[in-house]
Amino acid sequence: MQLQAKASLERRAHDGTEHVRRTAITDVDQLEVVPGFVHEAIEGWVPTLASDEDLRSALEKAFDYRGDITITRRDGSKVEGYLFDRRTGATLADSAVRILPKDSNVRLTIPYSENRALAFTGRDTAAGKSWEAWMRKYWEKKAAGETGIALEPEALE
């Protein structure tokens, strides 16, 4: 008898507008070979924000980014930090991002309409740290004849 697993994923925006549901029956023995999520290499990217849709798309990528971003506001001030939340509305004025600034513990809320520029300035802290990369390092050490192998996590800055 072969075991079956049922997997589903739901994702919703805060206002409930976005809804994605995937349901699949998968052979449990096949779960180890299921491909993982591939993140875009956007570290250092400065998107062109020519339209409202460009801004929305860039801020969505910034939300998924695992490093700091820098937002330049319409008044010229800059905020660098980690974007940890976003709320999307019908207009840019109704939408906002929430950022934990690099130099403060105060959480800032910045409306989309105040954004003039965006840059992915911080190091992507998870880049190259997939399960496959971890296993590759492990097997390289094992092939080299090392014993008592322990792959330690990289120190955070």
Write out pLDDT tens, residues 23-61: 554 565 555 555 555 556 777 788 888 899 999 999 998
The dihedrals phi and psi of 62, each to the nearest 5 degrees, come to -65, -35
Q: Centre a 10 Å sphere on the Cβ of residue 99 and count the other Cβ atoms it contains.
A: 25
Rounded mean pLDDT of the chain?
A: 77
Say which amino acid occupies 89. G
Alpha carbons 118 and 60: distance in angstroms, whole number: 12
Q: What confidence score (pLDDT) does residue 30 get?
A: 57
pTM for this entry: 0.58
Q: What are the residues whose beta carbons fall under 8 Å from the beta carbon of 105, sequence distance 6 or more?
A: none
Alpha carbons 143 and 23: distance in angstroms, whole number: 39
